[in-house]
Amino acid sequence: MLQKVSIQNFKSLKDVTLELQRVNLLIGPNNSGKSNFLKALESFKLLIDDYSKYFHQVDPSSDLSIHKISNIDSIIRKNDFFLKAKAERMVFDFRILNGYTYSTFFEISNEFYLNIGNNGKSISSGEAVCLINRDFETDAIIDEEDDILIDDDYICGYFKKIFNDIEIYKPDPNKLQKSFPILPNQSHVSNDASNLIAFLDTLRDEYPENFKVIENDLNKCIPELTGLRFENVEIQKNDDLYKIYGDKTFKRLGLFDANNKVTYWADELSEGTLYFLALLCIVHQPNPPKLLLLEEPEKGIHPRRIREVMDFIFQLAEDKDIQIIMTTHSERVLDEFEDIPEAVFVFDKDEEGATQVKNLLKDIIEPSNEKMDANDLPRIKFVESLGSHWVTGFIGGVPR
């Protein structure tokens, strides 16, 4: 699980640190940096997936030397994107310098820390062991004692295990209304959920238990809808989907209303219903990502159904050991965090346009309590109604 993430110089995120929980909520006005935070994590994933490619782009004539590498502060320049993430014993430290990528890894144990490049070589000084990047000059190494050979696969493998498939999900209901080709092995929901038909088709044949759970959960929240239906459709050769996927079997998706014995096809369903179905598919994927990023999971959902949606999300995190970071503009979603305010992060922009992030418990509630106690006044009852305190301004993260 990601425990702590620091980001510097990524879009509006000049310098923010979040200490994360199992399920996390980001709130704040539009354009305050919530989505940038998710995008930074997504960039992180892309670089972990293929980081050696970036290493080979490092300019050998760079003036960075191992002396500077071992001194982190000296190589952080004003406009460098810098991201640091702590997960259990490991810290991933990643930055882009002058358009190139440079990365170091630190492993912290009781005795020493490990500073790892991607070269398979190391230096050590006292208790510190440092592996340096082969693209940098090696003759600058000082006090070399214990060479430790660690290859790229080890490093990538380790971090992929932790950050396995970070995904930002932003279902697009317009795409769900369209037919889609039946492609093989679609057991993974795409980021915009546009492959939902192929995904559900795969699930029905290969993961019938998951398919059934999705139908049941849908029925739990929308009792009149009892099942998922598919129907073959003809696609014109000049259709964009045909141009992309060619001569495939295309299907459309529908939801069956048992009371009226009628199937409502996707183009007849509301965006909210389709969005909710996409959310169920995301949470019930056979192999959901270890770090799930959701933008406004309440979108299009009736206020009375938001609790059920949040229950699905919390249950998923619990059952499948998944970490979730989501954004919201709904006070009802925030109300679901009344007992875990430490998992809420309030985004605002300062006068210079830089994103500032406060932890609801540590930076807002606790200081307020201390201040009110010192003045012998009753405490602000934030957690009695977090949503109400948010929209009325007590928590911050509100538009002007």
Partner 1 sequence: MRILKYGYFGEDEAHRIFLANYLELLVLHLGKSEELIFDFDELFTYKFRGRNKSEVDARFAEAVQEGFVDYQHDIFFVGRDLDTFTNHEFKDKIKVMKSQLSANFHDKTFLMIPVQCIEHWLWYIKIKLENPSSTKNESLESKPRKDAKIALYGSARATNQMSNPIVEELSMKLDFDYLESRSESFKIFHKEVFNFINSLETS
Binding site for partner 1 (CB under 8 A): 371-372, 375, 377-378, 380-381, 385, 388-389, 391-394, 396, 398, 400
Nearer CB in complex with partner 1: 50/376? 376
**Which residue, 353 or 367, is less far from partner 1 as judged by CB?**
367
Residue 181 or 396 with smaller CB distance to partner 1: 396
Pick the closer one to partner 1 by CB: 89 or 381. Answer: 381
CB of 383 to partner 1, least distance (A): 13
Which of 120-127's residues contact partners 24+ apart within 8 Å by CB, and which partners? 120/149, 120/150, 120/151, 120/152, 121/147, 121/149, 122/146, 122/147, 122/148, 122/149, 122/150, 123/66, 123/70
Nearer to partner 1, 31 or 164 (CB): 31
Cβ-count burial of 255 within 10 angstroms (0-12 exposed, 13-18 middle, 19+ buried)? buried
Taking the complex as a whole, the smallest distance from the CB of residue 375 to partner 1 amounts, in Å, to 6
For helices 34-49 and 152-163, give the axis angle rounded to 10 degrees.
140
In whole angstroms, the minimum distance from the beta carbon of 391 to partner 1 comes to 7
Minimum CB separation of residue 372 from partner 1 in Å reads 7
CB atoms within 10 A of CB 59: 12
> Residue 371 CB, nearest distance to partner 1 (Å)?
6
184/399 with CB nearer partner 1: 399
C-alpha–C-alpha distance, residues 387 and 15, integer Å? 27
CB 334, min distance to partner 1, A: 15
Copy the structure tokens of residue 66.
């191992």
* Cβ contacts of 121 within 8 Å, gap of 6 or more: 131, 132, 134, 138, 147, 149
State the minimum distance, in angstroms, from the CB of residue 348 to partner 1: 10
252 or 389, CB closer to partner 1? 389
